[in-house]
Amino acid sequence: MAKYNITQDYIDYGDSRSGEELQNVEYIVSHDTGNPGSTAYNNRSYFDRIQPLASAHTFIDDNYILEIIPQTEKAWHVRYNAAKDNTLFGEDANDAAIGVELAYGSNIDFQDAYNRYVWYHAYLIDKYGLNPDTDIVAHSTLDPQRRTDPQNALHQNGISWDEFIQDVKEVYQTEFSEDGGATEPAEPEVKGVSVELPLDIGDEGQFVKEIQQDLIRTGFPLPIYGADGIYGEETQRAVMRFQSAYGLHVDGLVGPNTLAKLKEVLGSSSPAIDFPLPDKVLSLGDEGEAAKQVQRALKDINFDPGAIDGIYGPKTQDAVRRFQSMYAALANDGIYGPNTRKYIRMELND
Ligand SMILES: [Zn+2]
């Protein structure tokens, strides 16, 4: 019998999901989201909407094992310029591995999320004939200078990497391996649940419940029904009051703008929202709000652009050049354009 369901609710094609085929799954890269309290569906919504040049296949919290990119397609979960994956496995993680993210912190029940995370690793081990001792690798192992996951989330809850691997082996033995006692290997039930924005009257489910909890936390109570996971008239009225209070179009529907404002008010707005990046080309001598946006983003990723004054001067040009020099794919010309924008966006989201 299946122990957990896997929900396949794929994001649209874009920078996060190229649709490129993942030909062989040779290993698993274990991550945490690095964003305490952000649920599996919060992540899905973020990647679907913002489409950063970074992603992972599966996000796991205390309610969902949520695949947002099919296992047959590539996700962008480890930088290509991290060399360790090539040393260990002979191939870049993005080209040969499934990326699995643990959501944790705040209202997410750690034990429930962890159990699903362990189980899903065991399921992948079984499905692709992998070895749990050698074919599961932490993101922090592949990119030690920049990443601490998933040990960051595990250690906060008293679990070491080795204990995690032991737990995966145990679940693999008991749930999946025929000689380990399981009469039949567990086949997960796969459900294609789609929560399409905007949310409207009649929508139901975990995502609706989380939005209701967000409304309550931002001071828009639901006194009669509470966060019951059903988008009824009480929820609609609370959404309209929220929209009115924040100067949004008052239609009682939760679409991308209302969702983004909710997250902003909750103080969990993502860096992509905090750092808009201009779409145009900028070079030495340019001035204005667009130059300022580039400066703010550069500062956030520790490439000091000088004063945040909206003047694309020599210091800003130099910061862009230093940033570009990290990537073979970028011309080292100090000019901000679409390619540099893509990589800055990746850096901001990583
Ligand atoms: Zn990671």
What the chain holds in terms of domains, given with CATH numbers, is 5-191 (3.40.80.10), 206-271 (1.10.101.10), 275-349 (1.10.101.10)
What is the predicted pLDDT for the residue at 320? Answer: 94
Q: Round to whole Å and give the CA distance between 86 and 165.
A: 22
Average pLDDT of span 28-44: 91
> What's the 183 CA to ligand 1 centre distance in angstroms?
35
What is the predicted pLDDT for the residue at 269? Answer: 39
What is the predicted pLDDT for the residue at 203? Answer: 86
HSE-up (13 A, CA, CB side) for residue 180:
13
Instruction: Tell me how far the alpha carbon of residue 221 is from its chain's centroid.
Output: 29
> What's the 324 CA to ligand 1 centre distance in angstroms?
22
For the beta sheet containing 189-191, the strands, ordered from the edge strand earlier in sequence to the opposite edge, are 136-138, 27-32, 97-102, 58-60, 65-67, 5-8, 189-191
Average pLDDT of span 77-84: 85
> What's the 233 CA to ligand 1 centre distance in angstroms?
40
> What's the 54 CA to ligand 1 centre distance in angstroms?
10
Decide which of 284 and 107 is more confident. 284
> What's the 340 CA to ligand 1 centre distance in angstroms?
22
1 band by pLDDT with thresholds 50, 70 and 90? very low
HSE-up (13 A, CA, CB side) for residue 159:
20
Inform me whether the pLDDT recorded for 183 exceeds 70.
no
What is the predicted pLDDT for the residue at 150? Answer: 95
> What's the 274 CA to ligand 1 centre distance in angstroms?
21
Q: pLDDT tens for residues 259-313? A: 878 877 876 534 334 577 888 999 999 999 899 999 988 888 778 899 999 999 9
What is the predicted pLDDT for the residue at 179? Answer: 64
> What's the 8 CA to ligand 1 centre distance in angstroms?
21
Q: Round to whole Å and give the CA distance between 70 and 74.
A: 8
> What's the 259 CA to ligand 1 centre distance in angstroms?
25
Neighbours of ion ligand 1 (CB under 5 A): 31, 139, 149
> What's the 196 CA to ligand 1 centre distance in angstroms?
27
Instruction: Name every residue whose Cβ is closer than 8 Å to that of residue 205 and which is 6 or more positions away in sequence.
Output: 193, 195, 229
**How many CB atoms are located within 10 Å of the residue 54 CB?**
21
